[in-house]
């Protein structure tokens, strides 16, 4: 038995009653730290096995803010995270964190490969709370253990450890068990579809992910209805794209303004979410820049939308069409599945029914 820093909240005590697939190398975890880390590790492990490449995830409140495979970076990613041509591990994390950098602030980082010196250096320079990985190259633990005055949490996962067949939960004195979800993804799916399914499998339901080029552009998590999941994911994806707008990208730098503060202003401008008070502050900080972004026209993203449950109505497809989704992956089986299929056909979207619901709570 091991005591944790605290439970869900600082006024709650918490402890680990049994071991598992990880070791604490630095810092002291809280209850939520462990939930984030264990879910994030399962996600990157599953996605890496499906894709055959390195995968990174940025987790907050037991859902991913971003997930990505190793792949190319665009100029905005390089400028934002101050990297040039990183290796695959760092590149995967930059792509994951860039998906929704407002949500990734103070994240738990998970990578499917050992942390190298390059990633350790990046993590020492961004606001994050923890990292979980299957190993740490020489010298990296020392770099990470100094972060946050020694409170940064470093966890090592055992890639050979398989979780038990049955998982158990105690809720208000009621102990329930279920078999672990080991269902395989359907064969023959493209890489973005597989990454999307792995993402929603470890995202609080209801959930939807928009994926393109091996990275998530937007994740809608934990909503009570599916269309709100789609709207959230689509909205976040559009914000990601609008951060590439010349006005947003060229927002003047202000002396003394931290990187995250400037990034938050860019996101507010891209979202069109400035309040009246923020508009006044924006004008004072960035004179000559309009707080209203010029309309850039439609984004033809040609991305994949993956859903953990069936899409019950065609309005889900109408929202997806606003960013040019080209492939919809969902279980199927709704009483309105014919309407959803017709909407996909109308918008030129490929539709794949997996027959596999992936709820996660």
Distance, in Å, from the CA atom of 208 to the CA atom of 201, rounded to the nearest integer, reads: 10
Q: Which helix (H) or strand (E) holds 98?
A: helix 88-98
Cβ neighbourhood burial of 98 (10 Å; 0-12, 13-18, 19+): buried
**361 a catalytic residue:** yes
Length of the chain: 361
> CATH number of the domain at 20-160, out of 3.40.50.620, 3.40.50.261, 3.40.50.720, 3.40.140.20?
3.40.140.20
**Active-site choice (206, 236, 319, 327):** 206
Q: What is the pLDDT of residues 252-290, one digit of tens each?
A: 999 999 999 999 999 999 999 899 999 999 999 999 999
Residue 2's pLDDT band (cuts 50, 70, 90)? confident
**Cα 125 to the center of its chain, rounded Å:** 19
**245 a catalytic residue:** no
pLDDT at 296 over 90: no
Compute the average pLDDT of residues 308-337: 94
Distance, in Å, from the CA atom of 327 to the CA atom of 318, rounded to the nearest integer, reads: 13
Residue 18's pLDDT band (cuts 50, 70, 90)? confident
Which tokens sit at 56? 């990174």
Half-sphere exposure of 60 (CA within 13 A, CB side): 17
Query: Would strands 207-212 and 215-221 be described as parallel, antiparallel, or unpaired?
Result: antiparallel
Asked if 131 and 115 count as a contact pair (C-beta separation under 8 A), the reply is: yes
What pLDDT score was predicted for residue 1? 67
pTM: predicted TM-score of the whole model, two decimal places: 0.94
pLDDT at 3 over 70: yes
**Active-site choice (33, 39, 60, 316):** 60
Which tokens sit at 244? 């590439």
**236 a catalytic residue:** no
Asked if 168 and 179 count as a contact pair (C-beta separation under 8 A), the reply is: no
**61 a catalytic residue:** yes
Question: 302-322: buried (b, 16+ CB within 10 Å) or exposed (e) per residue?
Answer: ebbbbbbbbbbbbbbbebbbb
Distance, in Å, from the CA atom of 280 to the CA atom of 285, rounded to the nearest integer, reads: 9
Q: Which CATH superfamily is domain 191-240+298-353 in?
A: AICAR transformylase, duplication domain (3.40.140.20)
Distance, in Å, from the CA atom of 301 to the CA atom of 324, rounded to the nearest integer, reads: 5
What pLDDT score was predicted for residue 295? 85
What pLDDT score was predicted for residue 22? 87
């Amino acid at each position: 038995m091991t005591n944790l820093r605290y439970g869900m909240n600082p006024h709650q005590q918490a402890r680990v009653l049994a071991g598992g697939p990880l070791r604490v190398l630095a810092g002291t975890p809280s209850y939520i730290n462990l939930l984030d880390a264990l879910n994030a590790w399962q996600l990157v492990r599953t996605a890496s096995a499906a894709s055959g490449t390195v995968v990174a995830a940025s987790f907050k409140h037991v859902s991913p803010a971003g997930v990505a495979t190793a792949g190319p970076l665009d100029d905005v990613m390089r400028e934002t995270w101050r990297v040039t041509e990183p290796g695959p591990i760092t590149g995967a994390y930059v792509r994951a964190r860039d998906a929704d950098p407002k949500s990734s602030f103070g994240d738990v980082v998970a990578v499917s490969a050992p942390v190298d010196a390059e990633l350790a250096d990046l993590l020492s320079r961004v606001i994050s709370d923890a990292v979980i990985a299957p190993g740490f190259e020489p010298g990296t633990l020392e770099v990470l253990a100094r972060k946050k005055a020694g409170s940064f949490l470093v966890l090592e996962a055992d890639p050979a450890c398989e979780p038990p067949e049955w998982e158990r939960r105690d809720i208000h004195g009621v102990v329930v068990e279920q078999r672990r979800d080991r269902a395989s993804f359907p064969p023959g799916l493209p890489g973005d579809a597989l990454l999307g399914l792995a993402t929603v499998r470890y995202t609080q339901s209801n959930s939807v992910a928009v994926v393109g080029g091996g990275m998530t552009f937007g994740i809608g998590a934990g909503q009570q209805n599916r269309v709100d999941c789609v709207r959230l994911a689509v909205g976040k994806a559009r914000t990601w794209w609008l951060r590439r707008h010349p006005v947003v990208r060229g927002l003047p730098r202000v002396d003394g303004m931290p990187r995250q503060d400037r990034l938050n202003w860019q996101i507010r401008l891209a979202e069109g979410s400035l309040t009246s008070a923020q508009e006044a502050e924006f004008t004072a900080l960035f004179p000559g820049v309009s707080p209203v972004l010029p309309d850039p026209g439609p984004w033809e993203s040609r991305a994949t939308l993956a859903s953990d449950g069936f899409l019950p109505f065609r309005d889900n497809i109408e929202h997806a069409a606003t960013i040019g989704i080209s492939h919809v992956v969902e279980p199927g089986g709704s009483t309105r599945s014919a309407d959803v299929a017709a909407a996909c056909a109308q918008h030129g979207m490929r539709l794949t029914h997996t027959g596999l619901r992936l709820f996660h709570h």
